Structure 1
Amino acid sequence: MAHPIKTWKGIIIVLSVAIFTTAILIDFTSSFSVDDETKYVPIVIRLYKKVLPDPLPPPPPPSMEKMKTKGCVADGFLTSYGGRTNENAKLINRSECYYLHRAIETWLEPPDFKKAKKIKKKIKKKDIVYGMFIAEAIDVKDNYYYPAEKREFEFDEMCRGHSKNFWGEHTCIPSFKKEEYRKYLRYITEQAIDMGIQSFLFGQIFYQERSDLSNPIIPEIIREMREYADFKNTEIVIGAQTNDIDNPEYLKLFDYIEGGVGIDGSGNIEDGPCHSHWWQQEGDWCWALIWHERFSSKANNVLLHLDWSAKSGDDMSIFVNMNKDTRTKTLRSLHKFFTSRDMGFLMPITTPLPKYNGGCHGKYERFYSADRKYSCQDEDVINEALR
């Protein structure tokens, strides 16, 4: 009869034997070299975690149906975007939100998981699904430690060709082709899964992916993420901003595709595949309205929201310049319109706003908050729609 290990000494002995045995097996089954390091190190790390299991049980599986009907945009909440973390936590705790979209933000900044875990403890609601955004923009000057190799990540080695300063000085577009970026993705997604993040969104994936979608790289990344999540007994969902990609095989790789709705000043939306602001004739750039049949019929699920880019003219800048009655009507009608079509409309809780935008806002003019204590005061309408 097997006996459980009851002491840390016993656990350490088992761990040492397990890692040593793994090293021997690798040595005998293949000629190990420095090039194999990226395969060997994760094995040791995962073995370590296997022998020393997590003290907390995994979160419940995410419900895509509830994500679509009770989802909220809480951009950068776990990253402390816009400050006021305590107030935002109280706002979320009294909300009807089940899913917090993009709660961890990585735009031009690697995720601070220590901070994220601390903020997450402020949420008292149970069974919340937290999301993480994997941005298509990195700062090549960032310092971010990579413990598996005991060094800093080399962000300038992650860049797509000819993308230097694409998003501003010292920035670039990362590429799935770059091994350093793959290591970075592997590290941050595993850290996120460890702390209970269950929804992962790849930003503007056509920038990060190779141009030939018949031979994409993302399936291997998705496989690794799901493999690690399975190892942690955690279910995750993976989405992407796919814009005008209409390749059904590619879109079906993701649990959901995500995008903005493109409202006007009255809260109306268009019914074509591409927004008329950019698309006037064949060959113009397409800002895809992904609920259109051209895209939605080929995707597993569709999540929509009021788009924000921190530039004047985006959905959120238009929304906050509406009067209270128009904002209320817009939120109610968009949520009803999309959920009745088995798509999700994510209600805005906290998002960035353009500088000098005017209109209502949160504590600071650069950030929207639905909190009733500030000028927009949309939280009651949002909660009513989500019930």
Structure 2
Amino acid sequence: MTTAADRFATEGFGPQNLPYASFSTAGGAPRLGVRLGERAIDVNALATALDTTGPVLPEGLHTAVSAPDLDVLLAAGREAWTALRAWLVEVVTTDGAAEAVERASHPVEEVRLHMPFTVADYVDYYASEHHASNVGRMFRPDQAPLLPNWKRLPVGYHGRAGTVIPSGQDFPRPKGLRPEQDGTPSFGPSRRLDIEAEIGFVLGGSAPAGEVSVARAAAEHLFGVVLFNDWSARDIQAYEYVPLGPYLGKSFASSISLWVVPWEALAAARVAPPAREHELAPYLDDSSGGPWGLDITMEVVLDGQAVSHPPVRTMYWTAPQMVAHMTVNGASLRPGDFFGSGTVSGPEADQRGSFLELSWGGKEPFTLADGTEMSFLEDGQTVTLKGTAPGPDGSVIDFGECTATVLPAT
């Protein structure tokens, strides 16, 4: 006999990963799924099929797995997440369950993916030292690249949850006020539309009173990780962000990948973050229980050509620190809260996670394989983010893709 993992697993989507999604088949309603190789498994159908033969779904999980997405599971908390993942791993690695897995699953290319969870609050951070330093050098050439607070706390802002959109949903070029040389802004479509190659973190459980520690963030609230493209209209952002910060330059679209990699699946990808320059405030101290950095390598693909490979392991601030910061003043945490890492960039030119950096503000356009010089996005261009991380025993964890095409402004 063979296991489902033996029959269906592929590199990146083996039993070490088992990412979640919400999917539907032709004419059907969305249901909670998990991926093994090129199969999307209906978790509720699988539980029903094994109800008498086993492995049997643990008590208390039936409501979560019969939901159309992750919302119920996120509210159930870490104990439920761990139990469900353990059951799924057992099923796909147990002799005799492969037929049940096949009957409860569909080829990935035949299913439609939906938003995997309902976004509650959304926060975007600025956690890459290389990205922040590059931006500082471009816009403040006569000052230190990083502002004095940057290595004291993870800088971030509260974003717009309503325009976090699923991978594959295209969007029109945003419009707004753009700076002009004579000092009078003009209104129109963004001329400097950009990407921000990030990773996103999905949170679960509840903390109504806030003040979630670094340890509790990792142990109780970090559910999963996705690829995240926080598209940015640089010209609109440049005019509006002083003194309060970005709004129209960021609020039009933020794309997420649709397979949510469980936090537990990334245990082998945990690495130490860069050495900290200053002693951290006690609530940000992540020196114990970790390490909490992640060894994820991203790929930025423009119209089929890879143009950058941002390394997440270089991020200065870690996910548990970002959760601790967003709740330390009493801000509540709810199931479905979501935050982005901020643009991921490494020290090398081909590791920059934005076109702003790759073209150095448009002053040094980069050249594509066909000889075209590129600075910012044109209508009709498609950007796809990919990502992988090391799994246990030499395996690979694949994040799938996060993709969208820029449409002309309305």
TM-score tier, shorter chain, comes to: under 0.3
| TM, length-normalised to structure 2 | 0.25
Which protein is richer in helix relative to its size? 1
| TM, length-normalised to structure 1 | 0.26
Structure of higher RCO (CA pairs closer than 8 Å, 6+ residues apart): 2
Which protein is richer in strand relative to its size? 2
